[in-house]
Amino acid sequence: MPVSLASYLALSAILFTIGVAGVLTRRNAIVVFMCIELMLNSVNLTLIAFSSFMGDITGQVLVFFVMAVAAAEAAVGLAIVISLFRNKQTVNIDEINILKW
């Protein structure tokens, strides 16, 4: 039995929500970072699902772009986390709050 579009979208929505919840609640920068990746990938899933069901290749092309950008973002993001850790001996984002009044 083929999986329906609605199931894909539901899974995608669940993943996205988990990602948002993680970003908002977790304190470890690495985990927050992984949650962002989760959100990106949930969107990717949506795109592929639509692409497959509508017979349009554009969605899959877009996914490749997202993955490329996500890879670049991961490189930069992890570099920031490492340099933060070197300076402050912590990756807790509620301790990294010096950009304020």
Supply 9's token pair: 């979208």
Q: Which of 20, 31, 34, 84 binds another protein (CB under 8 A)?
A: 20
Contact status: 99 vs another protein (CB under 8 A): yes
The answer to whether 58 and 42 are in contact (CB under 8 A) is no
Name the residue nearer to another protein (CB basis): 16 or 63.
Answer: 16
Contact status: 101 vs another protein (CB under 8 A): yes
How far is CA 61 from its chain centroid? 18
Contact status: 24 vs another protein (CB under 8 A): yes
What DSSP assignment string belongs to 73-85? HHHHHHHHHHHHH
Interface residues with another protein (CB under 8 A) are 20, 23-25, 32, 93-94, 96-101
